[in-house]
Structures are given as C-alpha cells and as structure tokens.
Chain A
Amino acid sequence: MRREATVKASLAAALAGLVLWGGLPLYRHRHFGVPVVKGPGVTAVLKLSEFSKGLEGTAADTTVFVLQGKEPGGRALVMGNTHASEPEGMLTALIFIEHAVVEKGTLYVIPFFNASAGRNTRPGDGYPLYFDVPTEWGSKRFRFGNRDASPLDQWPDPDVTVHYPTKQLLSYIDARNTNRTWPGRPGGLPMERVTFGAMELIRREKVDLAIDIHGAETMFPVTNCIVAPEKSVRVATMAALTVKAAEGFESHVEPSPPRFHGLSHREIGDHSDALPFLLEAPIPFLDQPTGPKTVEFFLDGKDPFLLSLSKKKKLFVPYDETGWSLEKRVGQHCSTTLEIFRQFSRRNADRALVVKGVPRYAEILENGVGHYYADPSKAAPGTVLRH
C-alpha cells in the first residue's frame, strides 16, 4: 500500500515537473511584449476597439498607428500578422511605423492584426517560440505566432464555421482565422469583431487602399503574388509590372475568387469603397517537406529538401541555393506596398498618397531587415510601446 502511494506520488511529481518545465516557456511567450518604436511620422495611436466596441479589454484588441501627412490626400491601411505565423507582414508594418513620413494623405498601420494569434503557438508543428532579427545594436526579439487566434481568447470552435453574411461553410478552425472572418460583425465571435473593427475603420475614415500582408509556402499555388479582386486589378497589375521592371523581382497578380468568402481581398472590396490587396511572399519555413523548423531556417529560407523538389519542378517559385531570405521577403513587401500607393496616386491625383522614408527592396537586401529597427532602450521617452 505504502509502495503504491510512493509510486503514485513520484509519478505525480514527474507530471508536475513536466508541466512546469514545458508550460512556463509557453506562458512567458503569451505574455512577452515586442517593443515597437514610434517613428517621426506617427501622429496618433489608437486601439481597434474604438471602431469595434466589443473588443474593448480583450486580448484580441490591437493597436492602430496613424501617420497623417501635412497635406490631405488618399488614405491607406496596412495590416501585418493577420496570420502571425507569417510575420513578414508585421516586420514590414514596423518598418513603416519607424520610418514612414507621410507628405500627403494618411496611413493607418496595424502591425499585429490578429493580436491573439501572435500570442499563440502552433501545437503539433514544433515552431520556435521566438525569432531574433540581427541589428547593429544587438538583436530584436519577436514572438513566433500561429495562423489562428488562441483558444484562450476564443473557445470553443463551432463544429463548422458559417461565414457571415454569406452562410458559406468553412473549416471549424477558420472561426479563429482573421483571413476568413471578413467583413465581421460587431457582436460576433472575437475574430469577427476584429475584422469588423477594421471594416469600420475603412468605412469611417474613407480608406482608399487596404493592404493585407502575408506569406505562403513555396508549394502553395498562390504565392509570390498580389491577390486582387476585379476593382483592384489595374493598380495591382501596374504595381507588379513596375517592381519587376524596376526592381527585378517577380510578384504576379492573382485574381480573388469571387465565391470564396471571408478573405480580406474579397470582402473589403465588396463591403466598402476601398481597393483591397493581399500580398504573398514565399516563406519556405512554412512548407511541409522541410528539415527541422529552426530560427536559422526561418531567417535564411534555405532547405535542402525544397532545393531538391525545386529541381523536380514541384515548387511554385524559383528556388536555388540562396534560399528565400527574410530580407527578400520583407523587401518585396515594402516595395510592392509603396508601388501600390504610387500607382493609385498616379490615377487619383486628388486622393494621392505620398510616403517617404521607407526603404525599398534593394536597400533592405543590402542593409538587412534589422537595420531598420531602432534600439528601444535608446529611444526617446514615450516613443516605445510593447505589444
């Protein structure tokens, strides 16, 4: 009897040890704050809950950085971390927040669009908890998030997700995917409230351009592209042609399927006057047939299995020994975003948006992504937010 009790007690102690040892890093990850340094162009900082009251006080609420120009003009919204496992969008958004100076028009930037997903990890997929981007002053640490919001912030999932308002059926997990819950509704599930907040911002502030920045697997057919609905195709095509001719990288235009609902590139255009664009750059790290999921692989995008598959023509993007680095991915996003602004402004002089100070593809390739992040410990008081 005593022996049995001892066995049980030691086993229970082992369990407590495992839960503590394994659980603490997950707890710390959820509560880790990424420092965001406000650049000279930031004129206001809002919360998304100002546009969607249901988000107030929840972990799904997120920060909106406003960069207002001296002259009136067009308005654009840039979103990163819609899928927090594709952090290139967030990294691009942070470069805009630190460096963009708007001369004409207004820029709204939401770097952590699905804030809950950014504090979630992807069970079963063995991702690192953080990644460090090298900078001149050391390295800047970011959380590696998940594609979907945390069940700690939205639980349970429905048996099948029913898209509002079309009633199209989607996978159960898509209820926590903020690129399936557009246009959202004020009293819906937390992720519907997030997209509703963005829709309200777009409608109330009369936003002209909405750019949702993602990344995709090299084996995913829709990668390295600008996804655009009919109303955005002209601007998207001109932007794609220009970056190819002037900056030497490919980003073709993919039409937004009219009957696939819940995606930003479909619903923003259908429920507002804004022109939506969804940018994709290849993230080899997300592919299934790869080696270990290490931070190094995330940063350099080099993998021998993908290289072999590329030679067998099984990838949707050109891929060689140089991989597909973070610099390339973020560089593409910065240039394509700026080019979309430019092409729109050329056609709509009264709604022109002029943004200066943001590096383009070649500069980021040369200097690295970390070059564009200031040391938060040396930033002026009041300019650092933790998210």
Chain B
Amino acid sequence: MSLVTIAYYVLTAFLLGLVIWNFVREKVSRDRLVLYLLVMVPLILRLLRVK
C-alpha cells in the first residue's frame, strides 16, 4: 500500500472520528443523529476494506 493510500485511510478515519464525536455530542435533533449514522456507513465500509 502506497503512502498516499495510507494517508487516505487516515483521512477517512479522521472524518469518521469527527462524525462519531459529533454524534455523541449531538443534543438538538434526532434527524441529525440518523444523518450522522448514515454518513458513517461508507466510511466504516472503506476502513474495514469491505467496499
């Protein structure tokens, strides 16, 4: 795996981390909670090297 590819996995993990953080901190809206979860789907699948 090239350095650039590794950087992309790190970037994906960073974004996933931020999304999880915001999900945990979200207080206002259940709508937003679901949306955070939906955004996590492609990020998790890529990090697990499924898709």
Contact = CB atoms under 8 A, between A and B. Distances in A.
Touching chains A and B, CB distance < 8 Å: yes
A23 B50 contact: yes
Q: Is the interface of A mostly helix, strand, loop or mixed?
A: helix
A23 B42 CA distance: 10
Given A23-B50, A30-B50, A18 B41 contact: yes
A11 B37 contact: yes
Given A7-B30, A8-B24, A30-B50, A155 B37 contact: no
A12 B44 CA distance: 13
Contact of B33 (A7, A27, A123): A7
A34 interface: no
Interface in B1-51: 4-5, 8, 23-24, 27, 30, 33-34, 37, 40-41, 44-46, 48-51
Given A8-B33, A19-B44, A26 B5 contact: no
The residue among B44, B45, B49, B51 with the most chain A CB atoms within 10 A of its own CB is B51
A14 interface: yes
A162 to B, nearest CB: 16
A152 interface: yes
B20 to A, nearest CB: 9
Interface in A93-134: 121, 123
Contacts of A123: 51
Interface string A6-39: 0110011011001100010011001000000000
Contact of B37 (A12, A121, A156): A12
A39 B8 CA distance: 43
Contacts of B37: 11-12, 14-15
Given A7-B30, A8-B33, A26 B8 contact: no
A286 B49 CA distance: 27
A123 B8 CA distance: 20
B1 to A, nearest CB: 9
A159 interface: no
Contacts, number: 41
B8 A156 contact: yes
Nearest to A58: B1
A232 to B, nearest CB: 37
A155 B45 CA distance: 14
Given A23-B45, A26-B45, A155 B27 contact: no
A123 B45 CA distance: 13
A123 B4 CA distance: 23
B23 A8 contact: yes
A4 B48 contact: no
Nearest to A151: B46
Nearest to A150: B51
B18 to A, nearest CB: 16
Contacts of A156: 4-5, 8
Given A8-B24, A27-B50, A155 B41 contact: no
Contacts of A155: 5, 8
28 contacts: A7-B30, A7-B33, A8-B24, A8-B33, A11-B34, A11-B37, A12-B23, A14-B37, A15-B37, A15-B40, A15-B41, A19-B41, A19-B44, A19-B45, A23-B44, A23-B45, A23-B48, A23-B50, A23-B51, A26-B50, A27-B48, A30-B50, A121-B51, A123-B51, A152-B46, A152-B49, A152-B51, A156-B4
Given A8-B23, A19-B41, 8 more contacts: A8-B33, A15-B41, A19-B44, A23-B44, A23-B45, A26-B45, A30-B50, A152-B46
| 9 pairs of A and B residues whose beta carbons are closest in the complex | A15-B37, A23-B50, A27-B50, A155-B5, A26-B50, A26-B51, A152-B49, A156-B8, A19-B44
